[in-house]
Amino acid sequence: MNLFTRKTKIIETILDSLYPSPTSTLYYINEYTLLISVLLTAKSKEKKVNEITKHLFKKIRTPRDMIRFSVDEIKNFIKNIGLYNKKSKNIYDLSTILINKYNNVIPKNISILKSLPGVGHKTASVFLSHVSNVPVFPVDTHIHRMMARWQLSDGKNVKKTEKDAKRIFNKINWKKLHLQIIFYAKEYSPSKKWNVNKDIIYQELLRNNLLEKFSRKVNHRNHQKIKMEI
C-alpha cells in the first residue's frame, strides 16, 4: 500500500464516520435556481447567499422570471454579496441565453456551461455534481486547503489541486467527498484559528507518520499563502 493509498484510506474512513450521507446546504428549488445560487457564492459566504436567495426565489424561479427585471433591479436584490455588479449582469445575460438558445433547459455539458456568462469551471462543476452523473470534483478554498494540509497536493493553484484530487481519490466517491471535505474543513480545520490538536484527520495522519513534520508556525504561514492565492 503506497503513501497516498494509506492516507486516503484514513481520510475517507474518518469522513464517512463524521458525514455518512452529506447533502448540500446551498438553498435552491430547481436546476435554474441552483445554477444561480452557485454563481452567487463566488467570493461570497454561502450563509449570506442563502439569506438572499430564500427571498429572491419566491419571485424568481425561471430564466423568464429573471429577465422581467432589469440588471439594476437584479443588482438591488443581491447587493449584499460580493461582486454584485458583475454578477447581476451575468445573471441577466445567462438567463437570456438559456431562453433564446437552450429553450430554458440548462445544458449538462461542462464546456457549454463554462461558455455561459459568469459560469467558470468551479461553478459548472458544482452544478453538475448536484444534477448529473458527470464525474466532477469541484475544488473550492476549503478543499484546496485540506489537500495541502494533508500533503496530497502542493497547493500551487486550484487547477493543480483538482487534478491531484481526481488522481488520488476513487471516481465513484468524488461527489460525496466534495461535500465531506468542505464540511470537515469548516468544522475541524479552518483557515483561521486552526487548532491542530483538534484536527482529527491531521492528527491521525501524524500518528501514522504520513505527514512531514513542519512547525506549526511554518504550517500557518503556508496556509495563509494558499488563502491569498485563491
Residue 212 pLDDT class (50, 70, 90 cuts)? confident
What confidence score (pLDDT) does residue 223 get? Answer: 47
pLDDT digits (tens, 9 = 90+) for 58-82: 999 999 999 999 999 999 999 999 9
Residue 216 pLDDT class (50, 70, 90 cuts)? very low
What confidence score (pLDDT) does residue 213 get? Answer: 67
Question: How far is CA 145 from its chain centroid?
Answer: 12
Is residue 224 pLDDT above 90, yes or no?
no
pLDDT digits (tens, 9 = 90+) for 122-151: 999 999 999 999 999 999 999 999 999 999
Q: What is the 3-state secondary structure of 69-137? A: CCHHHHHHHCCCCCCHHHHHHHHHHHHHHHHHHHCCCCCCCHHHHHCCCCCCHHHHHHHHHHHCCCCCC
When the pLDDT of each residue in the chain is averaged and rounded to a whole number, the result is 92
Span 141-162, average pLDDT: 95
Q: Are 179 and 146 in contact (CB under 8 A)?
A: no
What domains can you pick out in the chain, each with its CATH number?
Answer: 3-21+137-229 (1.10.1670.10), 31-131 (1.10.340.30)
* H helix or E strand, kind and range, residue 185: helix 174-188
pLDDT digits (tens, 9 = 90+) for 15-58: 999 999 999 999 999 999 999 999 999 989 999 999 999 999 99
What confidence score (pLDDT) does residue 72 get? Answer: 97
- pTM for this prediction: 0.88
What confidence score (pLDDT) does residue 214 get? Answer: 55
CB contact burial 4-29 (16+ within 10 A = b; e otherwise): beebbebbbebbeeebeebebebbbe
- 55 CB contacts (<8 Å, ≥6 apart)? none
Would you state the cell numbers that stand for residue 85, as one nine-digit string? 455588479
CA dihedral 169, 12, 22, 184 (to 10 degrees): -100
pLDDT digits (tens, 9 = 90+) for 86-104: 999 999 999 999 999 999 9
219 vs 207, more confident: 207
Is residue 227 pLDDT above 60, yes or no?
no
Percent of the chain exceeding pLDDT 90 equals 89
